Structure 1
Amino acid sequence: MSSLTVTDEQVSATPAKVIQPAWVRIMHWTNAVAMILMILSGWQIYNASPLFGFSFPREYTLGGWLGGGLLWHFAAMWLLMINGLAYLVTGFATGRFRKKLLPITPSGVLHDVRAALTFKLGHDDLSVYNYVQRALYAGIILVGVLIVLSGLGMWKPVQLHWLVMLFGDYPTARYVHFFCMAAICAFLVIHVALALLVPKSLRAMIIGR
């Protein structure tokens, strides 16, 4: 009995493993705030000149009118660009991206998708990303780069005409920007759903352990 008590004390005294370092948590939540502000203000801008036959409900937009939406969008843009660039540089410099996101193989992604659909995908070790997570995180980084580049081209189409031409023309850049926004919204829905299904992953992103 005494040996069992000692073992329990030793276990309770063992510090929890740090899964998400402080810089990841700070940049993660900063990016989350910036993305939400950009999405809501972007919907306000979209409503002023819709690409498709629908508009976003006014109560889910930010800015009140086109000018207000643009002000919020540009303010959030700088926050997202600076924080996002710092995240990319730090992620590559520390080797976190290489360790967390690679390798990504089609067979691995298909295997983990099947496991997830049959509720057999394990979440015991939160420090290791499964293939689905790797594909989603790597994909959303690429989408983030595309949405920033297309947005800059739309913001300064004359000064940055070369950037607009990378997408073909201005209307195409708008479509790219819109579909990147839709991809980010879909990612956020999946991301939040997974966090709710695995609460300890959310706890790790808040306190790190």
Structure 2
Amino acid sequence: MSSISADHSSATAPAATTNRIIQPAWVRIVHWINAVAMILMIMSGWQIYNASPLFSFTFSRSITLGGWLGGALMWHFAAMWLLMVNGLVYLTLGLVTGRFRKKLLPITVDGVVGDTKAALTGKLSHADLSTYNYVQKLLYAGIIVVGILIVLSGLAIWKPVQLQWLTAVFGGYEAARYVHFFCMAAIVGFTVIHVVLALLVPKSLRAMIIGR
């Protein structure tokens, strides 16, 4: 009888794990909306940057959006509202449901160092997708802060007279442009790492599509 129970348990355990909801519907919806909004903002932002570069390089027209400054601005502002509304929904639900507290806290130096070493040596486990490791916690918490900064610095650049107090917080119009640029670079870097990890651990991508 015990062997039958054991066999039954081992047979049903994978099914139970497979059917468990890892990513709730609202997380998946805001994730993909955010992905579209960020792609539009980054590509149009590169076209805007090309009109008045901060550094000695410009972005290839093949990876920009808008065709010219006016067109890029229209795409950028449209995507900005989508990003802001979607971001507010994400922040509100993340706080109200307790997801941020459960998923992102605590973050410790020892934990980050330990998981970083494990990741670099290929020993970091991805068996339980419902729990973030310390590196993931740090990256996800950090990108939320970067997302808030890029929106605020963008508003400071967009309305430097009407929102002069906000522009002043960033140290002026030109300083706000640099903050905006480096936040964009951080988001692009995060996106690249995010996509690479999703390809290395395809079940995490599946969970973000079907939830299980």
| Counterpart for residue 42 of structure 1 | 45
State the aligned residue count.
Answer: 208
Matched, 1:55 2:75: no
| Counterpart for residue 156 of structure 1 | 159
Q: Deviations over 1:8-60 (max 9, x none)?
A: 76457647110000000000000010001000000000000000000000010
Q: Deviations over 1:77-127 (max 9, x none)?
A: 000000001100100000000000000011110110000000000000000
- CA distance in 2 between partners of 1:138 and 1:63 (Å): 31
Letter in 1 for 2:208: M
| Counterpart for residue 118 of structure 1 | 121
1:88 to 88, 91, 106: 91
SS in 2 for 1:100: helix
| Counterpart for residue 32 of structure 1 | 35
| Counterpart for residue 206 of structure 1 | 209
Letter in 2 for 1:26: I
- CA distance in 1 between partners of 2:57 and 2:15 (Å): 57
Percent identity over paired residues? 72
SS in 2 for 1:125: coil
Q: Deviation above 3 Å: which 4+ runs of structure 1? A: 2-15
| Counterpart for residue 69 of structure 1 | 72
| Counterpart for residue 196 of structure 1 | 199
Q: TM-score, normalised by structure 2?
A: 0.94
Letter in 1 for 2:45: G
Structure 1 unpaired stretches of 5+: none
RMSD, matched Cα: 1.6
